[in-house]
Amino acid sequence: MNAAISYFDEKHPVASRLESLNRWVAETAALTQPDSIHWCDGSEEENAALLRLMQDDGTLLPLNPDTHPDSWLYRSDPSDVARVEHLTFVCSRDRDDAGPNNHWMSPAEGHRRMDALFAGCMRGRTLYVIPYCMGPIDSPLARCGVEITDSPYVVANMRLMTRMGASALARIEKEGVFVKGLHSTGELDPDRRFIMHFPEELSIKSYGSGYGGNALLGKKCHALRIASWQARQEGWLAEHMLIVGIENPRGEIHYIAAAFPSACGKTNLAMLIPPESYRQAGWKVWTVGDDICWMRPGEDGRLYAINPEAGFFGVAPGTSEKSNPNALATIGHDTIFTNVAVTADNQPWWEGLEAGQPSKDWQGRDFDPANGPAAHPNSRFTVSARQCPSYSARAEDPQGVPISAIVFGGRRASLVPLVFEARDWTHGVLVGASMGSETTAAATGDVGVMRRDPMAMKPFCGYNFADYFAHWLSFDRPGAKLPKVFHVNWFRKGEDGRFLWPGFGENLRVLEWMIERVEGRAGAVELPVGLLPENGELRLQGLDLADGSAEALFDFDLAGWKAEFEQVGAYLQEYGSRMPPILLSEANEILKTLR
């Protein structure tokens, strides 16, 4: 403990060269009244001191050093285990700018309410100043921020998830522009918990939660809600998408960006391991990012993407040697686990692991099935992306990677086929805008309820969805060489309630068809909803599918699709006069064809 205190007292910079940053820190300290202020430099020494501090006060529990060296367990408050969408607000000056897809509060009321919560909240605590960069430190598309927090757990996670510390501070001082994020765990009282976004001010205030998506303000708050607003002003896209490179036997790499709602397999797809027959043929997969993608048009008209994050904040349950061996290898050391169970020999454990048995559940109780799952369904791991065996060297490319295809996908038990392609960019935007998916444990509320989740951005778009769709449409301009757009559904079920498609590594078969479509080497059949693989074009050799599954994966339910597009049309109309007429027209034409 003494070493940690000595480090924090004596070995950190006392201020920035940027006066606006110093002034904000001083004003925040005056409001929150911390016992001390620490400016984070991101060093190994600082991180070691923080880990010792949290181990000493019981915040972090060390895991088995033989099986998981330098790894830790964090248990959050049982009331604080997921994103709180109903307590998340966009505080734009004009309510219509936030749109019906967001909870809105006026900036004045948002600041008043939050400042009342923050008043004196850091007494007895340390105020940490975290300068960070979202994206490669020298990328023109990267954007910087500073999070102020009283949580050392947040500091440790931000160090893994962003480019944090001295290099980020240097860029902030050079540019003079940064997103301001103020966070306090407060009392962890669900009735005193809010996350407010002020897009015109490039600022965020989060109070009352220590959970990742609510407390790591560089993640969903900055990299999606605020960045989506920035992106619209500056002509780029901030999206809830993985980025993966698919290398074919000829050594050619196509990069794919794919949007799925949380806990629907983004990390599994980003770290996909090809089936054995594909590996033998020379196929490889390269992981650029598993959750967030920033894209901008390049000089050649193509979209180029960076992963603004430097780490993975992945869902643990379901991660196994079968589903994602690359993830298991990634989290074998130097990982922070949140709300997982532990075995008798103190290894992390969650539902889906083939080995081990839980001894203590995620709340630290002796495991009893009567108390529910051993690991919380939204338990997480935080780890540096560089530890991933399939990590792409181009993840740090300042210019980003060129995107060949954009994929949308949701969790649908019926109706939606395994894969289809949009006819053109406008149709592709409609495909993304009309996405539906069954809810998961990544957010509070009921699980398994079908809801519209456009581009998987429903919880994350920082402005009116109608304006967001119009922004997407604006990229279709002379000289643009836009990616092809596809939709997938790994989760379609048969009449027996079982999944029809095996998923995981076998998803490469679907990606192969997409790449061949991009290259103009695969056929497709046109239906009113899009282009489906011609018979025999999707390579299924060696795949053990139940009788009739291949046909059922592409079964076309005309009555079901009529009902779907009637709902889509009604959904788009909810956004009123801001909805782009071309998108309404596209949906109406498809419905007319179906009728």
Is 523 labeled as ligand-binding?
Answer: no
Q: Residue 340's closest CA among 330, 328, 353, 350? A: 350
H-run or E-run covering 294: strand 293-297
Is 144 labeled as ligand-binding?
Answer: no
Is 481 labeled as ligand-binding?
Answer: no
Is 125 labeled as ligand-binding?
Answer: no
Is 577 labeled as ligand-binding?
Answer: no
Is 314 labeled as ligand-binding?
Answer: no
Is 380 labeled as ligand-binding?
Answer: yes
The burial class, CB within 10 Å (0-12 / 13-18 / 19+), for 459 is buried
Is 264 labeled as ligand-binding?
Answer: yes
CB 593 within 8 A of CB 483: no
Q: DSSP strand E in 415-495: where?
A: 419-421, 436-438, 450-452, 484-488
Is 262 labeled as ligand-binding?
Answer: yes
Is 240 labeled as ligand-binding?
Answer: yes
The burial class, CB within 10 Å (0-12 / 13-18 / 19+), for 317 is buried
The burial class, CB within 10 Å (0-12 / 13-18 / 19+), for 582 is middle
Is 83 labeled as ligand-binding?
Answer: yes
Token output for 228: 């989506």
User: 264 an active-site residue?
Assistant: yes
Is 424 labeled as ligand-binding?
Answer: no
Is 206 labeled as ligand-binding?
Answer: no
Most distant CA pair in the chain, distance: 74
Is 524 labeled as ligand-binding?
Answer: no
Is 461 labeled as ligand-binding?
Answer: no
Is 213 labeled as ligand-binding?
Answer: yes
CB 492 within 8 A of CB 417: yes
Sequence length of the chain is 595
CB 495 within 8 A of CB 264: no
Residue 253, beta-bridge partner list? 247
Selecting among 121, 264, 388, 461, the annotated active-site residue is 264
Is 291 labeled as ligand-binding?
Answer: yes
CA-to-CA distance for 348 and 75, rounded, in angstroms?
12
CA-to-CA distance for 60 and 53, rounded, in angstroms?
9
H-run or E-run covering 166: helix 166-175
Binding residues for GTP: 263-268, 380, 411, 504-507
Binding residues: 83, 211-213, 220, 240, 262-268, 291, 378-380, 411, 504-507
Binding residues for substrate: 83, 211-213, 262, 378-380
- What is the set of active-site residues? 264
